[in-house]
Structure 1
Amino acid sequence: MPPTLPDYSNSVKLKYVKLGYQYLVNHILTFLLIPIMATIALEVLRLGPDEILNLFRSLQFDLVQILCSVFLVIFIGTVYFMMKPRPIYLVDYALYKPPVTCRVPFATFMEHSKLNNMSEPKSVAFQMRILERSGLGEETCLPPANHYIPPRPDMESSRAEAELVIFSAIDTLMKKTGIKPKDIDILVLNCSMFSPTPSMTAMIVNKYKLRSNIRSFNLSGMGCSAGLISIDLARDLLQVHPNSNALVISLEVITPSYYSGNERAMLLPNCLFRMGGAAILLSNRRRDRWRAKYNLVHVVRTHKGADDKAFRCVYEEEDSQGKKGVALSKDLMAIAGDALKANITTMGPLVLPASEQLLFLFTLIGRKVINPKWKPYIPDFKQAFEHFCIHAGGRAVIDELQKNLQLSAEHVEASRMTLHRFGNTSSSSLWYELNYIEAKNRMKKGDRVWQIAFGSGFKCNSAVWRCNRTIRPQDDSPWSDCINRYPVHIPEVLKL
């Protein structure tokens, strides 16, 4: 029998072929410049020093031409550096860690639900099913007012929660960075459900006696993605105010958002949202470059509010009994997927390497010209980022993004573990996830981080950061006392 040909599909490592293609396309300019520079160098060596000197002397230089050329170079250089955006540095950030007394184990949560909804056992059973599939752990926390029976969602309790979270995070941040209240030039705070008068930024100004000319902004009603909106606003302000510091506060006050009715769509937030907050210090000062943790590279915002379904998929309203709550639509995941698609369509060209963009382009052309049944190519965002911080809004959100972006279990580990340990802390969840990666000693110099958040409206926002230096675990991290236990196995259904 004649010898058969070897099975090349098994003998050739296709992944190395793909890596070779990626390296070639991503470094095509380098590969083109190397032979050109080599040719020039050989030609210079062939001419010799005498011929090069004679060639230089043969050139006739006019003084006016030289001065004009120098002036033009200086002018172009000045315009370039003036038009170039200021670099935005994330100097450091601090997270609020709730006390042990605020923890709400499943047994406690269900006991309180029974006492608060004794006339509706179906509502209690529904909340139990949600908790079993939520991905939350036994150590998540609710504010003190929610531990009362019945809860006390009044103004005084809401202010007390806001002050506890905000002031604790700011105090920790000031201790870590050494910044003084008088050094803060810009103050941005976001909180969706609680918007008192005076505002919470006024509470901070009063507490820390900030300067009278501080530029303060209080954002409300913008959902779980408002943290990145605050970052975007602070970035724009730092672009026009040189030599400035910006303090960004992201939190959600849980106390006033407790729902005491029996509408299932409104009971979901009770089961998922928990206590938390973050304080972030941004700067455009050159001297902060050496101590800053990250550089802000991109912020991409997508708003789908023009569509009625998207607008109403997370909606605060009163139920049939006049009790206020936030209703989550059944179409939420489909709308979130559509918003994510629009967001990454804008994000892709900014961050993806040339090899992925070419594959996407060729597949798109092939579907349009050759065969519309071709499977669309999903770009490999793992080539653009080392770390992913997906908003810990719920288990379904993380599952869907892991599937759509073809991420590994390690890529979504920070999101799952944050949901397990702290619950859905709304806009601050991205910072608990980033801190998890740091606590695991995985953040190295040059690493790129993609933060993705969803919020009411409906919005999908993204931020891209580049790590300035290798970051070591810190003792004041909210993960410091439990990081050795993580990651933990989270069953599909936890029987209560």
Structure 2
Amino acid sequence: MIIVVVVYLWIKSKPIYLVDFACYRPSDSLRVPEAHFLEHAETSDVFTQESIDFQEKVLRRSGIGNEACIPISVHEMPPDESYSVAKAEIEEVLFTIVENLLSKQNINPETIDILVTNCSLFCPTPSISSMIVNKFRFRSDVKSVSLGRMGCSAGILAKDLLRVHNNSLALVLSMEAVSPNGYKGKEKSMLMPNVLFRMGGAAILLSNRKADKIKAKYQLQHLVRTHTGSDDRAYLSVYQHADDDGLVGVSLSRSLIHVASKALKINVSKLGPLVLPYSEQLRYAWMMIRRRIRTPPRGENDRRGNIYVPNFKKAFEYFCIHAGGRAVIDGLEETLKLDKEDSEASRMTLY
């Protein structure tokens, strides 16, 4: 019993705080209004009229506003997709937000213990984490990890590292490189990223030091991640490949929202017992028992998978939905049965 108590207290005594964050704000000169985007596509002389019409339709439905930006190299005619401009985009975004975050918190770069960088489609040598270490002169024993090809699912690592390394500061950097990833073919699924991807990035400072509790913005409580990559439909939902003409791009399949919804439902079943009041947990358990005994009454299940979704508004005041696209926000809003007001912040972030 003593050993169990000691182990429990040792694990429980490691709260993780989100101390602060910084987001990249591009220059107004990099904005790409809808008319500018369409004119650029038409005059580039690489798209068929059908491809242009499709991109226009997606853009008008995307929820992206005229304040969104793209790198200067993509504004050029023709767009510069060289290695050097991709590296310059990485440096512009990440160097800026790291400097802003460290100066805002008056932190010496040598005090950073853990560095995690995340960029899916551009993986240079030296790595992006090495670029940051070199620029800001981090310590030689900094634990650095450079993640690639993981998209938006790469955020779990830093918290796990902080569970292991006591009294540490972790810097997490995340962005996507737009410059080298334009697609010039005619496959509709591969044209989607042309419309939906924009310029940006975030730097997040995490800590497990007790001294940071007072100034931290948040304390991280529960993190649940589901990997559905063993399912071919999930595996191929965001897929980089060459089309029939040999042009490389990233395809976004029609099943993406379904795949995300399925993973979310699994996460919800794991997260629910950790956060929901007992009344909602009991209702959820009762509904599951009834499902095993007989067909559930109409209205007690969501339309997609005959699974009762608990009322998470009884556990949370605010919801931060990944602003990856209007369809993503719509899908999660429907799955979690949220009101429009609950997703308004995410819609405006996308805009």
TM-score normalised over the length of structure 2:
0.94
Match of 2:98 among 163, 170, 174: 170
Counterparts of residues 48-197 of structure 1 (less than 5 Å): 78-117=6-45, 120-197=48-125
Residues 320-366 of structure 1: per-residue CA shift (max 9 Å, x gap): 11111001112222222211111211111111111111011112222
Distance 1:183 1:147, change over 3 A: same
CA 332–78 in structure 1, closer or farther in 2 if over 3 Å, else same: closer
Between structure 1 and structure 2, the one with the greater Rg is 1
State, as a whole percentage, how many aligned pairs show the same letter: 51
Deviations 1:257-310 (A, max 9, x none): 111222111111010110000001111111111111110101101011001111
Unaligned runs of 5+ in 1: 1-71, 421-496
Distance 1:123 1:84, change over 3 A: same
2:322 to 382, 391, 410: 391
- Map Cα deviations across residues 39-73 of structure 1 (whole Å, 9 max, x no partner): xxxxxxxxxxxxxxxxxxxxxxxxxxxxxxxxx98
Aligned to 2:283: 359
CA distance in 2, matches of 1:83, 1:115: 59
CA deviation after TM superposition for structure 1 residue 368, in Å: 2.3
Output aligned runs, 1:414-433, within 5 Å. 414-420=345-351
**Contact 1:104 1:141 survives alignment (8 Å):** yes
Q: What is aligned with 1:319?
A: 243
SS at match of 1:387: coil
Q: CA deviation at 1:82?
A: 2.4
- Cα distance in 1 for partners of 2:35, 2:51 equals 16
Query: Is residue 390–residue 398 contact of structure 1 (8 Å, CA) maintained in 2?
Result: yes
Flag the 1:76–1:195 CA change in 2: closer, same or farther, 3 A: closer
- Work out whether residues 102 and 141 of structure 1, in 8 Å CA contact, stay in contact via their aligned partners in 2: yes
- Cα distance change, pair 171–128 in 1 and its aligned pair in 2 (3 A): same
Deviation at 1:90, TM superposition (A): 0.8
In the alignment, what sits opposite 1:207? Answer: 135
Counterpart of 1:279?
203
1: CA distance between counterparts of 2:310 and 2:33?
A: 41
| Deviation at residue 216 of structure 1 after TM alignment | 0.2
Deviation at 1:80? Answer: 4.2
Q: Counterpart of 1:382?
A: 313
Q: Structure 1's 174 and 233: CA in aligned 2 closer, same or farther, altered over 3 A?
A: same
Match of 2:305 in 1: none
- Tell me, yes or no, if the aligned pair for 1:117 and 1:123 is still in contact at 8 Å: no
Runs of 4+ off more than 4 Å: 75-80, 370-374
Task: For 1:6-17, list aligned pairs within 5 A.
Answer: none
Structure-2 residue corresponding to 1:301: 225
C-alpha distance 119-391 of structure 1, shift in aligned 2 (>3 A) = closer
| Cα distance change on mapping 1:117 and 1:390 into 2, 3 Å | farther
> Cα distance, 1:196 vs. partner?
0.2
- The verdict on how the C-alpha distance between 1:207 and 1:407 changes in structure 2, with shifts beyond 3 A counting, is same
Q: How many residues align?
A: 344
Cα distance in 2 for partners of 1:379, 1:129 equals 35
Structure 2 letter corresponding to 1:410: E
Aligned to 2:160: 236
| Residue 341 of structure 2 corresponds to residue 410 of structure 1 | yes
* Cα 1:330/1:80, change in 2 over 3 Å: closer
- 1:224 deviates by 2.4
Q: 1:260 aligns with which of 171, 184, 194?
A: 184
SS at match of 2:265: helix
Gaps of 5+ in 2: 302-307
- SS class of match (1:131): helix
Structure 1 residue 409, shift from structure 2 partner = 1.3
Structure 1 or 2: larger helix share? 1
Q: Is 1:329 paired with 2:253? A: yes
Distance 1:263 1:321 in 2: 10
